[in-house]
Amino acid sequence: MKMEMSDSVRLILHLMQQLPQQQRMVMHLHDIEQMDDIEQMDDNEIAEYTGLSNDAIRANLSRARKKIRTLYTRIDTHGLEKN
């Protein structure tokens, strides 16, 4: 049974649309797929799927998470979205 998506998850998915394409794709494959009852992909599987190196995957994932964290905190603190 799937749970209803929380407001926080909806906001994170919305904020992900602001990420560069590679960061968005890597974050989706690594972090979001598992929320849809799909097994989380590890770095090697993402590398095979995307053609990116493991280092590039880790860098993109780190940058994506940092950007989402920054945007989320701004919205949570100020109640509005600023780029």
> Do residues 7 and 47 lie in contact, with contact meaning Cβ atoms separated by under 8 Å?
no
- Structural domains in the chain (count): 1
Give the CATH number for residue 62: 1.10.10.10
> Do residues 26 and 64 lie in contact, with contact meaning Cβ atoms separated by under 8 Å?
yes
pLDDT in tens, 53-83: 999 999 999 999 999 999 999 887 777 654 4
Please list, in sequence order, all residues whose beta carbon lies within 8 angstroms of the beta carbon of residue 18, skipping any fewer than 6 positions away.
Answer: 67, 71, 83
| Average pLDDT taken over every residue of the chain | 85
* Whole-number pLDDT of residue 81: 54
Q: How many other C-beta atoms lie within 10 A of the C-beta of residue 80? A: 7
pLDDT in tens, 11-44: 999 999 999 999 999 999 988 876 655 677 889 9
Is residue 61 one of the residues assigned to a domain? yes
C-alpha span between 16 and 20 (Å, rounded): 9
List the domain range (segments joined by +) for residue 21. 8-77
Is residue 22 one of the residues assigned to a domain? yes
Quote the pTM value: 0.78
> In percent, how much of the chain has pLDDT > 90?
57
